[in-house]
């Protein structure tokens, strides 16, 4: 491992004929970190992770996985990565257990460990009860979960998920997101591609906004939002607000503006999470009665729109 980084992708380039699918993509992922590649279809997400996973030969750049250079033919780095392709990649005529066992053998897992690990993975993805049924008999969500299970079977240092919730019903989608959160909390590094802004916001510690084969911006959600200069808006409906109250509120750190309107206060702040408790403390100190609070935060959709001039789903 280098500098606590599981993955370092530097200046990745890939063209298909005249089409430059990826043009110098650079990002890194630390231990236990969930990194999101957020971009619309055709942005270069899948091509990027195909190079990261050693599926595609890159035209330029470097991929270091746990310090080892990844190519299509190097085997050791592939042992450290778990790939969950966008499309289902399971054998429908085999049971979940048989699917897992086959891929476990390909990762040279010892027999005894494999059997134990299969049971663990089935538990994680919630398929223990149906482990011995053919996967062709599973619902779409169950197949998706098995798809993920195969990826994390061999305890990879980096789990790569390529749009794992596409075409999944809301219930299964939530289950998948919970699984990813669980894995992340256990210290597994995750590379997650999506064009769903909500998923990136919920799961990812850092996000790379990718479009037309380039990463336009990268950082935590907060960093990205600050990048475009937008602020959180807190609207508080309160009684007993006077000039002294307003002055104290305006004096709080991170508060840009406070304006009273029709029994409410509109506050523009850099971080609603930090400012709101302080604002409530000031209001309480001045004896103001609070009847409702609304927080409006700019989202990554707005960031994407600002950076690319188009919506994520365009």
Give the binding site for other proteins (CB under 8 A). Answer: 50, 53-56, 72-73, 75-76, 78-79, 81, 83, 85, 87-94, 98, 102-103, 105-108, 134, 150
Q: Which is nearer to other proteins, 135 or 245 (CB)?
A: 135
For residues 162 and 154, what is the distance between their CA atoms, to the nearest angstrom? 18
Q: Which is nearer to other proteins, 154 or 206 (CB)?
A: 154
CB of 83 to other proteins, least distance (A): 4
**Residue 198 DSSP label:** H
* Residue 19: exposure state from Cβ atoms within 10 A (0-12, 13-18, ≥19): exposed
CB of 78 to other proteins, least distance (A): 4
State how far the alpha carbon of 171 is from the alpha carbons of 84, 123, 176, 194, in Å.
19, 18, 9, 18
Cβ-based neighbours of 54, under 8 Å, separated by 6 or more: 63, 70, 71, 72, 74, 77, 78, 81
Q: Which is nearer to other proteins, 34 or 135 (CB)?
A: 135
CB of 54 to other proteins, least distance (A): 7
Residue matched to tokens 């011995």: 132
Q: Which is nearer to other proteins, 191 or 267 (CB)?
A: 191
For residues 95 and 138, what is the distance between their CA atoms, to the nearest angstrom? 10
CB of 123 to other proteins, least distance (A): 21
CB of 152 to other proteins, least distance (A): 13
Q: Which is nearer to other proteins, 94 or 293 (CB)?
A: 94
Instruction: Give how far the C-alpha of residue 233 lies from the chain's centroid of Cα atoms, to the nearest Å.
Output: 25
Q: Which is nearer to other proteins, 89 or 276 (CB)?
A: 89
For residues 34 and 127, what is the distance between their CA atoms, to the nearest angstrom? 24
CB of 93 to other proteins, least distance (A): 4
Element of type H or E holding 277? helix 272-285
Q: How far apart are the first and last CA of the chain?
A: 38
Q: Which is nearer to other proteins, 117 or 206 (CB)?
A: 117
**Residue 35 DSSP label:** E
CB of 197 to other proteins, least distance (A): 26
CB of 75 to other proteins, least distance (A): 4
Cβ-based neighbours of 283, under 8 Å, separated by 6 or more: 236, 238, 241, 245, 249, 290
Q: Which is nearer to other proteins, 56 or 225 (CB)?
A: 56
């Amino acid at each position: 491992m280098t500098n606590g980084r599981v993955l370092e992708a530097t200046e990745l380039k890939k063209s298909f004929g005249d089409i430059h699918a990826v043009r110098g993509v650079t990002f890194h992922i630390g231990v236990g970190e969930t990194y999101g590649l957020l971009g619309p279809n055709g942005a270069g997400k899948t091509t990027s992770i195909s190079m990261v996973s050693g599926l595609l030969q890159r035209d330029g750049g470097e991929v270091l996985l746990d310090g080892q250079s990844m190519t299509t033919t190097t085997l050791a780095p592939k042992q450290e990565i778990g790939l969950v392709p966008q499309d289902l990649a399971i054998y429908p005529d085999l049971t979940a257990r048989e699917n897992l066992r086959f891929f476990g053998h390909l990762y040279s897992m010892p027999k005894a460990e494999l059997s134990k690990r299969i049971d663990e993975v089935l538990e994680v993805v919630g398929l223990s009860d149906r482990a011995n049924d053919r996967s062709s008999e599973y619902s779409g969500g169950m197949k998706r979960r098995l798809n993920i299970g195969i990826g994390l079977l061999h305890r990879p240092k980096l789990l790569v998920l390529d749009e794992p919730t596409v075409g999944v019903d809301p219930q299964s989608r939530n289950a998948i997101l919970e699984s990813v959160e669980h894995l992340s909390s256990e210290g597994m590094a995750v590379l997650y591609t999506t064009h769903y802004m909500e998923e990136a916001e919920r799961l990812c510690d850092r996000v790379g906004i990718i479009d037309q084969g380039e990463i336009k911006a990268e950082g935590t959600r907060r960093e990205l939002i600050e990048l475009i200069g937008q602020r959180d808006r807190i609207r508080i409906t309160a009684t007993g607000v006077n000039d002294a109250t307003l002055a104290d509120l305006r004096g709080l750190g991170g508060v840009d503006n406070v304006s009273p309107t029709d029994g409410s206060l509109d506050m523009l702040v850099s971080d609603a999470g930090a400012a709101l408790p302080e604002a409530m403390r000031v209001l309480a100190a001045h004896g103001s009665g609070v009847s409702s609070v609304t927080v409006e935060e700019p989202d990554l959709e707005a960031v994407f729109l600002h950076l690319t001039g188009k919506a994520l789903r365009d």
